[in-house]
Structure 1
């Protein structure tokens, strides 16, 4: 049920607009882009942020969260109309030929929830048991995905603080070299740029990514709820038109 779609141009435009606005503002103020490029500040902010997120997250959650980050630019394709059409097709077949015939569709299905639902229908499971079994899977997957998305939210919370830590380290470097004016500029640059990196990454990357992933997960959950209700309705022997009418109520 999760198929990658075309690139989300809205995300591409958003990140480009943010970068152009910041870099353009820097030029308008008479600054240079080179003044924003500080390897030490980047290492402090990124290294500290990733380390803090790793500390709070199990490796499985962390890795899955990174993979889900690709959804921002290549979101999974959600097509409620196509899903409802498929459910209605199954309802017509079950109504004419019986529930057992739905077992023929199981081998060709890749989505675990769909496969499980069809198998439960073919086995003649009661509607309440089908709902109970599938709800557990829906809740478990939603929880797993939301935990994975939270690593980006956590990074958005840690990055500004790590940026301030980088600023303090830069100022310490400045204080240690007050007698050598040639070293003061680099220390001050690291101090301010580290704060820019921390606040910028948090508000332009980490938090927006987290919020977009939450939206995508919400859409996925709706798709699963449509599927769940469809299977239960088929098990109850409801008329396909009634099933279609109810499932269309999930979206405007």
Structure 2
């Protein structure tokens, strides 16, 4: 789990509350129910109005994935593909059917099953590219929804302030309450800006980033399994796949390795690589 989103949002709101406290104000003066109901309720309502019910539900179902931020390290995917390449060279492509049934990754399982079934390489590439494209469109639907909320919220906050100021102008006969009433009126604008920049837009960016990493992983697996089908040499395949990964991402994945099953496979692969170099 990557807690970056939770940490960032909590620090952002904490900074605002800290500023209010340091200036001698009261946090309770910002936690006014009427403007918060207007800003959050109306923002969600216009977001729904500009989208579809299915897209809205899909967007909110994607929030746990954004919070958890689970991604697979590129080195783990590379090790997995290289292991499959070694198995295919020693036991044949048909042996990959067992791996297709064991893996929990539906994308990889489908690719391996098609290889075992003898699907043509060009046709398999088209199938996998279509699946990657469908995943991209689905992910963009969620991130675009929250980005639209980030655009609506500040304007809705201004609407709330205008409504409150109208009420203030109706009570000019009571000067003693004008100050608190005007201050309360601007709370709606504040929550519009806070919700947009501290919640909706970060969620949209987070979903877009998680999607980018997942699409990169799927592309890596696609190129890997197609190379396995073509009979690529495992060690050369490893170097080719590593060249597809940005250096900083590759290093981060290696440094963050937890020493699990995939890491053991990688160590074994490196050992075989060293043996081959020594034999040469």
Of 88-97 and 181-190, the range deviating more from structure 2: 181-190
The normalised TM-score by structure 2 is: 0.82
Show structure 2 runs of 5+ residues with no match. 248-280
CA distance in 2, matches of 1:191, 1:49: 18
Q: Where does residue 120 of structure 1 map in the other structure?
A: 114
* Shift, 1:186, TM fit: 6.2
Q: Is the Cα–Cα contact under 8 Å of residues 71 and 213 in structure 2 kept in the other structure? A: no
Q: Where does residue 203 of structure 1 map in the other structure?
A: 197
Count of aligned positions: 246
1:13-66 alpha-carbon deviations (Å, 9 max, x no partner): 322322222112112222111110110000110011001111122222222222
CA distance in 2, matches of 1:47, 1:187: 22
CA distance in 2, matches of 1:150, 1:78: 24
- Counterparts of 1:151-190 in structure 2 under 5 Å? 151-180=145-174, 184=178, 187-190=181-184
Q: Where does residue 93 of structure 1 map in the other structure?
A: 87
Q: Is the Cα–Cα contact under 8 Å of residues 168 and 181 in structure 2 kept in the other structure? A: yes
CA distance in 2, matches of 1:39, 1:231: 55
Q: Where does residue 135 of structure 1 map in the other structure?
A: 129
**Alignment partner for residue 147 of structure 1, among 138, 141, 151?**
141
CA distance in 2, matches of 1:242, 1:213: 34
Q: Is the Cα–Cα contact under 8 Å of residues 118 and 231 in structure 1 kept in the other structure? A: yes
Q: Is the Cα–Cα contact under 8 Å of residues 45 and 162 in structure 1 kept in the other structure? A: yes
* Shift, 1:187, TM fit: 4.4
Q: Is the Cα–Cα contact under 8 Å of residues 149 and 210 in structure 1 kept in the other structure? A: yes
CA distance in 2, matches of 1:244, 1:162: 52
- Counterparts of 1:219-238 in structure 2 under 5 Å? 219-238=213-232
What secondary structure is seen at the aligned counterpart in 2 of 1:76? coil
Of 93-102 and 63-72, the range deviating more from structure 2: 63-72
**Alignment partner for residue 78 of structure 2, among 84, 101, 104?**
84
1:51-90 alpha-carbon deviations (Å, 9 max, x no partner): 1111122222222222222234311232211111111111
The normalised TM-score by structure 1 is: 0.91
